[in-house]
Amino acid sequence: MILTLGDMSISPPVFLAPLAGITDLPFRSLVSRWGAGLVVSEMIASGEFLTARPGTREKAELGAGVENTSVQIAGRAPEPMAEAARMVADMGARVIDINMGCPAKKVTGGYSGSALMREPDHALRLIEAVVEAVDVPVTLKTRLGWDDACLNAPHIARRAEAAGVQMIVIHGRTRCQFYKGDADWAAIREVVEAVAVPVIANGDVVDAASAREALRLSGAAGVMVGRGAQGAPWRLAEIAHALYGAPAPQVPQGAELTDIVKEHYQDMIRFYGEDLGLRCARKHLGWYMDAAGTTQSMRRAVLTARTPGEVMGLLTPALEDALEVAA
């Protein structure tokens, strides 16, 4: 199945969700290598982005010019949102995504993210400003509503489509649910039926079985995977193979897995620098070791190591020995 956004043909319709502090450039590059129709950058706050110095990591990490990358922006005022959109488009972004789904209090407290669902008229002004500012496709990511008394995603989707938004991603929870309970994929169907543009189902899509059920219940044109890819950058490729007949990924095991993890780790150290890289990489290493069945003592040793060299020396026994015991 192929989705079209502007002059882009996206296949398969299995996307990597934007996750703050997780889907950075090294991780997105790894997921793209395994196979993903589209990867979305971590959310950038439009105001802070505009005042950041040229060449800062926040701007460099967007990977805006990478072929299958969408850059997500957030904000509460039309003018900064439009200017940020123009800037990332000038940097080479081929798709710009508007964040209306983030439930974090530090985001909604600033009247951004999913807080915009409480003010559809104001949200529409932001959407119109971004669409008018750039020539590249603009997409929207949102939730079912603010809470159970405000399930206005279909209404917002119709207005966004009329304003020129070319694709809509719906996380199947309200903002007030945060990530509790189960995503309501069936509720996404109301959005699908409200618009003609593609709608992508998001929330609790962690493997091929959940992706298939999300599509069945929602009628969506594709799925977006977030936490399901943690520690498994090949997960999107597995889903794409099961649902759309894309080439089957060869999931790494043993020494091959260790090599992949070490490569990811070294990419993070190069990208962030040694001190910050050590801290940022821990969550990823933890997920890899959890999947491999690493013992708690070895896991602790890796995550408390103080130098990249020490970490690299521990990864082989941490991953390969655990897999041999599991086998």
Residues 6+ apart with CB under 8 A from 282: 303
Catalytic annotation, pick one of 102, 150, 176, 280 = 102
Round to the nearest angstrom and report the end-to-end CA distance of the chain. Answer: 37
141 annotated ligand-binding residue: yes
**CB-CB contact of 151 with 123 (8 Å):** no
CA Rg value for the chain: 20
177 annotated ligand-binding residue: no
Instruction: Locate the DSSP E strands across the chain.
Output: 3-5, 8-10, 14-16, 38-40, 44-45, 69-74, 95-100, 138-143, 167-171, 199-202, 222-225
Distance between CA atoms of residues 74 and 210, nearest Å: 29
**CB-CB contact of 310 with 286 (8 Å):** no
Is 150 among the residues known to form the active site?
no
230 annotated ligand-binding residue: no
Whether the link from the prior residue into 12 is cis, omega within 30° of 0, is yes
Would you mind telling me the total number of residues written for the chain in this entry?
327
CA dihedral 46, 206, 160, 105 (to 10 degrees): -40
Give Cα separations from 194 to 14, 99, 100, 267, 302 (angstroms).
22, 20, 18, 43, 50
Q: Which residue has the tokens 């669409």?
A: 131
Distance between CA atoms of residues 187 and 296, nearest Å: 40
Distance between CA atoms of residues 317 and 305, nearest Å: 14
Binding site, by residue number, is 72, 141, 171, 226-227
Binding site for FMN, by residue number, is 72, 141, 171, 226-227
Residue numbers annotated as active site: 102
